[in-house]
Amino acid sequence: MKSKLLMIQGTSSGAGKSLMVTALCRIISNKGYKVSPFKSQNMSSIIFNIDKTGKIIAQAQAIQAIGARKHPDVRMNPILLKPIGNYESEVYLCGNFYSKMTALQYYTNFVLDPGFELVLNTFKSLRKENDIIVMEGAGSPAEINILKYDIANMLLAKKVKSPVVLVSDIERGGCFASIMGTITLLKPKYRNLIKGILINKFLGDEHILTPAIKKIEAKIQKPFLGIIPKIEHSIPAEDSLDGQKNKNINHIENLEWINKEINKVSKIIESTIDIDYILKKIVK
């Protein structure tokens, strides 16, 4: 039997996708499921060296693996783009250096073929070993300039028939506009994959959001699944545009502090989202 799927996408970089996947992996693991994270393509200079293999993945996926109580695996991040400047990146495939490419070379000559084929093959392999795969998107799924190349978001979700939960960061402002804008810009075949919305990084009385939530729900016909508070934690952040400080963990020995932080964050998130609805009605 194939594992069930869930993809977490965001309305922007820094919306909280990486942390959300980490927490969901721990929450689902606590419920007795074999769970694994997966991010098809990540651009990051914060990398994790997998012990004694010489292979690397993005550190964010290594932390998500810890959340899932798994050893980091190259299949969790089959394509890693490590920026080196001048619009060029080192491309790593399943942890091994492949080539240096400009963005134009990557999109024109690689990402759809052979890149997407590699992603699907590694995904299928990982899926055989788990009950649930929690996938992380990249940036926003509504970057209309690169939609036809975006194997990290809707192209993948559509191909593997994964439901999507969309996360929006309310701290930076424009939360409801970003939700509406994202959904409006998507083609109907992709829009229909979105099964619910999460508001992240909220401070204050959540009741003041109720009128806006009701209006947006009526317009998009999709439920809001929770309002997550801004959580103070020391889990290393991914190097994105959110401006958080980063910390290299390098290996997973003596990382009790990360496990404690993951437990703390996952308990808060579980208490503020409708996890039963997500697992019973959305995860497929």
Residues 94/56, Cβ–Cβ less than 8 Å: no
Q: What is the reported pLDDT for 250?
A: 63
pLDDT score at 243: 45
- pLDDT above 60 for 55: yes
**Which residues in 96-186 belong to E strands, given as ranges?**
96-102, 132-136, 164-169
Closest-CA residue to 71 (of 93, 90, 55, 84)? 55
Residue 126 has pLDDT above 70, yes or no: yes
Contact indicator for 112, 40 with CB cutoff of 8 Å? no
Secondary element (H or E) of residue 42 = strand 41-43
b/e per residue, 130-139, with b = 16+ CB within 10 A?
Answer: bbbbbbbbbb
Q: Say whether pLDDT at 246 is over 60.
A: no
pLDDT, averaged across the chain? 93
- pLDDT per residue over 209-242, tens digit each? 999 999 999 999 999 999 999 999 999 887 654 4
Question: Domain coordinates of the chain in residue numbers?
Answer: 4-39+116-282
Tell me the pTM.
0.95
CB 170 within 8 A of CB 40: no
pLDDT digits (tens, 9 = 90+) for 150-168: 999 999 999 999 999 999 9
Residue-wise over 192-218: b if at least 16 C-beta within 10 A, else e?
ebbbbbbbbbbeeeeeebeeebeebee
Instruction: List, for residues 4-43, the tens digit of each pLDDT value.
Output: 999 999 999 999 999 999 999 999 999 999 999 999 999 9
- CATH architecture of the region 4-39+116-282: 3-Layer(aba) Sandwich (3.40)
The pLDDT of residue 64: 97
Whether the predicted pLDDT of 276 surpasses 70: yes
Strand order through the sheet with 41-43: 41-43, 79-85, 88-93, 96-102
